[in-house]
Amino acid sequence: MDRVKVGVIGVGGIFRGAHLPAYLNVAEAKVVSLCDVSERTLRESEKLMKKLYLERAEEAEKEDKLELSQRLKDDVESLRTYKDAEEMLSRENLDLVDICTPTKFHNSLAIQVLSHGVNVMVEKPMARTYLECLEVVEAVEDSGKIYQHNENWLYSPIWYTARKFIESGVLGEIQLTFLATAHGGPEWASWFWDPEIAGGGALLDNGVHAITCSWFLSGFDRKPTVVKAAEPYGICIRMKTRILQGRFKPFEVEDDAHVIIRFEDKNGVWSTAHIEGSWSYRDSLDTRIIGTNGIMRPVEREGRTFLEITDATGGKREIDLGKVTWVQSFEGEIRNMCNCVLNDVKPICDEHIGAETTAIVQAAYLSQKRGMKPVTLDEFKRYAKRIKEREGKRASEVLLRELLKGISRK
């Protein structure tokens, strides 16, 4: 296998804006098929892919990169489209499927792909609930195939470089990380605001970046043990209405969440992360990683990104990361998974990381429901297990509804 044959399911916003431009730069991947239930979305994405590939092929030819130019042309000429995932999986000899659908469909599609003996990577979040994640974990084990939880932040030059300095011991022992993912909200797509489809709001959509990344910085050898909705905001709805589907409407999911997480290793060594996942802009402290011997933070200046490291005496140094783009990180996650498939190895961010990240989110919802009291991961999992035993097939829906009842309105 020289290149990984990829089929994509769900070719809307995140595919067009992030995955598609990334595939142009990942030589290990050959996108052979696109699938979407919407005919319009499918045709628009097919058209865009051909346009981007042919434009890049023309540029490559002018640069005398004839092999690259021909490869790009061949890729789009052989591209096939489907409206039904089962048909694509049955007809195509795929090595990997990239799932970019709304959250509700993540677990069922991942299980379907794995049942066909195909490797799969799935956009964050892994699923709506921890119980849905466990179904995927079981399917991965049964299939023997490779699953990647697609957290693109791990491949950003900012966080990858930060982790290098952390592991080198420059900051001493990591004590506390402040990390936020905040913007004004995805009003452009109404499904984000529908708990039945999205499974939650800003914490599950946006906050998971900060959750998995803070764990990555702490070290995946540590495990999340305790979660708490953080004062003063906790997990809440800050704004009364949003313009959704062309008019002002109330909504049911959180648009701001502040959460504290404790990560602990087998020897009892721990670090703490304060994360914010917000669709109401940022109001937590600036991003920084605090160790016993120094502090590190990203700084942007004149279109370039620097990592600033301050030592215990106040001395500073900066590492110039250049211009950091959003698409870079998606190139990294796609390239990583393709090389895992080519070498038959598990990715660093696998189904277990994805499931535990969702468990952190839902433990935070439980903490909010209980008056922002700390909740251990084990405590949350027992809570979810009891619901599963009581509700059977309805368990995931019941768990989702019960946890979201705790969201407060400010």
Same structural domain, 191 and 306: yes
Same structural domain, 163 and 149: no
Question: What is the CB neighbour count within 10 angstroms for residue 188?
Answer: 9
What does the block give as tokens for 406? 């705790």
Same structural domain, 290 and 203: yes
Same structural domain, 141 and 178: no
Q: Which residues lie closer than 8 Å to 106 by C-beta, 6 or more apart?
A: 99, 122, 123, 125, 126, 127, 128, 132, 136
Same structural domain, 190 and 322: yes
CA distance 254 to 310: 35
Same structural domain, 227 and 243: yes
Q: Could you tell me if residue 378 is inside a domain?
A: no
Same structural domain, 265 and 206: yes
Same structural domain, 210 and 319: yes
Count of domains observed in the chain: 2
Same structural domain, 190 and 276: yes
Q: Could you tell me if residue 135 is inside a domain?
A: yes
Same structural domain, 175 and 302: yes
Return per-residue pLDDT of the chain as tens, 410 residues: 789 999 999 999 999 999 999 999 999 999 999 999 999 999 999 999 999 999 999 999 999 999 999 999 999 999 999 999 999 999 999 999 999 999 999 999 999 999 999 999 999 999 999 999 999 999 999 999 999 999 999 999 999 999 999 999 999 999 999 999 999 999 999 999 999 999 999 999 999 999 999 999 999 999 999 999 999 999 999 999 999 999 999 999 999 999 999 999 999 999 999 999 999 999 999 999 999 999 999 999 999 999 999 999 999 999 999 999 988 999 999 999 999 999 999 999 999 999 999 999 999 999 999 999 999 999 999 999 999 999 999 999 999 999 999 997 87
Same structural domain, 228 and 263: yes
Task: Indicate which CATH number applies to the domain containing 302.
Answer: 3.30.360.10
Does pTM top 0.75 for this prediction? Answer: yes
Q: Could you tell me if residue 74 is inside a domain?
A: yes
Which residue range forms the structural domain that includes residue 229? Answer: 155-327
Same structural domain, 216 and 296: yes
Q: What angle do CA 400, 403, 405 make, to 5 degrees?
A: 110
Task: Indicate which CATH number applies to the domain containing 31.
Answer: 3.40.50.720
